[in-house]
Amino acid sequence: MKYNISTKCNIFFLFLIINHYNITGEIKVGLCETHRKDKNINGNFYVVENNKKGQQAIRRVSFDSVNDGLKNVNDTMNALCSNFNQINNSNRQSMENLIQLIKNLNNKPNNDILTLSNDLKNLLNEIRSNKKQEENKKKQEEENKKKKQKLKKQKELFYYNNDLYDTEEIEDFSEEDNNKIQGLSELENYYKERMKEMKLAKKLQDREYELTMKENIARHQLEEQRKQLEFRQEMEKYRMNNFNVYKNMKREDQINSMIREKERIKSAADISNIILNKNQQVENLKNSNSSNKNVDKELKTENDHLKKEIENLKNSNSSNKNVDKELKTENDHLKKEIENLKNSNLSNKNFDESLKIENDRLTKEIENLKNSNLSNKNVDKELKTENDHLKKEIENLKNSNLSNKNFDESLKIENDRLTKEIENLKNSNLSNKNVDKELKTENDHLKKEIENLKNSNLSNKNFDESLKIENDRLTKEIENLKNSNSSNKNVDKELKTENDHLKKEIENLKNSNSSNDKELKIQNDHLKKEIENLKNSNSSNK
């Protein structure tokens, strides 16, 4: 079978319309629910089903030929008959009429569509009206049940609050009772408030009773102490009055008299205790009666006061609601501010950690700079010693040249050689000018490098290496001078100028290092102050 009826919905209707003259190898069969529109009546019908999601989906159905369509119609009829018992009683007649129409269509396939459509519309309208009526009846029954339950609860409260509640089952309200008990919702609220008032009054009574009992007990104890003191004072007076009599009596008589007095005192004390107990009972009864009267008066006044306070509270509840709304808005605003403060505290903590890391890095850099400065000082000392050593060697060479006997001859030879060299130098002066330009460019480049090294504070090592290279170069030149034994004054002057220039550069570097140290100290002090300020701000935020 190519077509299957779905029975998910309550009611589905099968319409078979065969237009024998318009068939071109297809018969269009379909299911239609109550919401089908009156359009597309000319043989174009569709299936309306429910998806897994519960939504309605439309699907077109077609058959290969007329015979296949009729077979499928018979199968669908059997399916309808099998599911007929599931349909409501009110819709059975309409379904029977529909089945008869379908059978007539099977017997008369050339019937007119328009004549059948009116019958189908009438059937649909009947079924829709029946369905709506059933739904309305169900709603009314549910509403009536809810109303009865509410009325029972209200009647129970009414009987309970008016002390009319019995063990028998409560019947439904009569019309008279309904007329008498109007606005029971207001009565419920009133009785709830009344119960609260009674509970508060009972608590106050219990508290007052406890306080009065404590006061009575304290008074009774004080009276007992006072009476005991009076009794002791009287006994002491009695003894003092009879003291002179005891002096004149003998020892045996004194002992006998003392024993008699003790016995008399015991009997008197017992009698006095009995009398005191009776008096206390009488006084307690009097005090209890008077206190009960006073308590009744106070309770009346307090009940009046509580009634007034309850009325004031009722009036203030309306104002408290508005205040509660304002407080809620303020609480929400405060919660947001607290969250923002928490986030800011977290950011401050992260900022503190970054500052700590930077401070550690700066301290390490400062230590490295201190070590580099110490190394530079040592290098400066070594250079001074080397310069002194070179000066001494130059003086020794001068003395050695004077001491040589063949100095004159060597001078002549050297003069000839020097004249030749001077001529060569004149020729080379032109080339030296170009070299000077290159040296100037190199000097400018070196100056830029020196400035970069000052900013980076890491150029001291490279500078030391350059000084060593220059010292090596100077030592080589000195060795060449030793081998050549040339005492040109111009060379000495150039060496002096170079040495002076080197000294100046060394002094400048020292000054630069000291200035850099000062700047670093200033920066470190500034950073420390900023860190202290940040700590203070963090502590204030906390």
Residue 109 lies in a domain: yes
Say what the pLDDT of residue 494 is.
Answer: 74
Question: Does a structural domain hold residue 71?
Answer: yes
Which of residues 139, 168, 195 is at a domain's end?
139
Alpha-carbon gap, residue 481 to 460, rounded angstroms: 31
List the one residue out of 491, 481, 452, 449 whose CA is nearest residue 466.
449
Q: What is the pLDDT of residue 30?
A: 39
Of the residues 120, 139, 158, the one at which a domain ends: 139
Q: Of 88, 104, 139, which residue is a domain's last?
A: 139
The predicted structure's pLDDT at residue 171: 47
Query: How many domains would you assign to the chain?
Result: 2
Residues across the chain: 542
Whether 196 is covered by a domain: the verdict is no
CB-based burial label for 28 (10 Å; 0-12, 13-18, 19+): buried
Residue 74 lies in a domain: yes
Residue 503 lies in a domain: yes
Other CB atoms within a 10 A radius of the CB of residue 480 amount to: 10
User: Along the chain (542 residues), what's the average pLDDT of each consecutive run of 10 residues?
Assistant: 31 35 31 39 43 54 41 50 48 61 53 57 74 87 85 69 48 53 59 76 82 81 81 73 57 65 66 68 68 69 70 66 71 76 72 76 78 75 78 74 61 70 68 69 71 61 69 75 63 71 75 69 71 71 58
Residue 469 in domain: yes
The parent domain of residue 383 ranges over 360-541
From CA 490, how far away is CA 481, in angstroms rounded? 13
Q: Which of 122, 104, 123 is nearest to 112 (CA)?
A: 104
DSSP-derived letter for residue 43 is: S
Across-strand partners of 48? Answer: 58
Residue 261 domain-assigned (yes or no): no
pLDDT at 329: 77
26 inside domain:
yes
Q: What are the tokens at 390?
A: 């070179």
